[in-house]
Amino acid sequence: MTRACGAALVAVSLVLVALCWVLAAPAPASAEGEAVVSTDGVTWTDALTTPLFSPATRWAPGDTRVSSFLVGNRASVRADLAVRVRTEDPDGLVARGDVDLAVRSGTGAWRPLPADGQPHRLPGVVLAAGANDRISVRARFRPASPNRSQLQRLPLTFEVVLSQAGTAAPPGTGTPGLLPGVLPETGGAGLRVLVVGLLLTLLGFLTTLIAARRKDDHDDRHLA
């Protein structure tokens, strides 16, 4: 029988315009603490309590930023690792390709990370029982993004999923929406932690242009 090791959620912000509230909600029949995350490798928790990117950051087209965190396997079995991104994409930034995401383990190759709500396994990444791994997330605001994208919002939640290594089901089997080898949340030793309360906005060049225009107007009035 396939055994789920657990899952932990982390949140990423592009521009934070609201305070961050964190809610921990373990799944039914779960074993708490089997999947943990950390920013410094010292303090391990069920969820990151701070955004991966600075709340003061304002993004402009062409910006690329990378942030990372540690994930720990506290189960008694080796675990495969997958990452899933959840977003409502209310303004269509991901759908239009204005923002794209990538993920990697350690110093490995970057892999595209679709924000489709599905778990995407990192090939060759296996965490031994008690081991840790560094996961990096790269967010890119494409240079060609039009002005309409610069005052819009993109809420993102990243979920790191650990499943018992070597238990992936054959293609086409398993529960829809779940990585093969991961049980539904109603069984197994799963752990789900919810991170909520992040509201994200892309401001881009518009703020800079407005500020520059106001400065020019002020200088013109002063000269007059």
Q: Where are the extended beta strands (E) located within 19-166?
A: 21-23, 35-38, 64-73, 79-86, 99-105, 111-112, 120-127, 132-141, 156-164
Does pLDDT of 58 surpass 70?
yes
Task: Assess contact for 149 and 96: CB atoms under 8 A.
Answer: yes
Task: Say which residue, 220 or 85, is predicted with more confidence.
Answer: 85
Please name the residue that has the structure tokens 């290594």.
165
At residue 33 the predicted structure's pLDDT band, cuts being 50, 70 and 90, is: low
Helix (H/G/I), strand (E/B), else coil: 73: strand
Q: What is the pLDDT of residue 157?
A: 77
Which among 72, 80, 83 is positioned nearest to 4, based on CA atoms?
80
Percentage of the chain surpassing pLDDT 90? 9
Residue 50, Cβ density class (10 Å: 0-12 exposed, 13-18 middle, ≥19 buried)? middle
The number of domains in the chain is 1
Q: What is the mean pLDDT of residues 6-23?
A: 38
pLDDT tens digits, residue range 86-134?
777 777 777 788 888 899 999 999 999 888 878 888 888 888 999 999 9
Domain that residue 85 falls in:
4-223
Q: Cα separations (Å) of 9 from 59, 64, 76, 121?
A: 24, 22, 20, 15
Beta-carbon contacts of 45 under 8 Å, excluding residues fewer than 6 positions away, are: 36, 37, 38
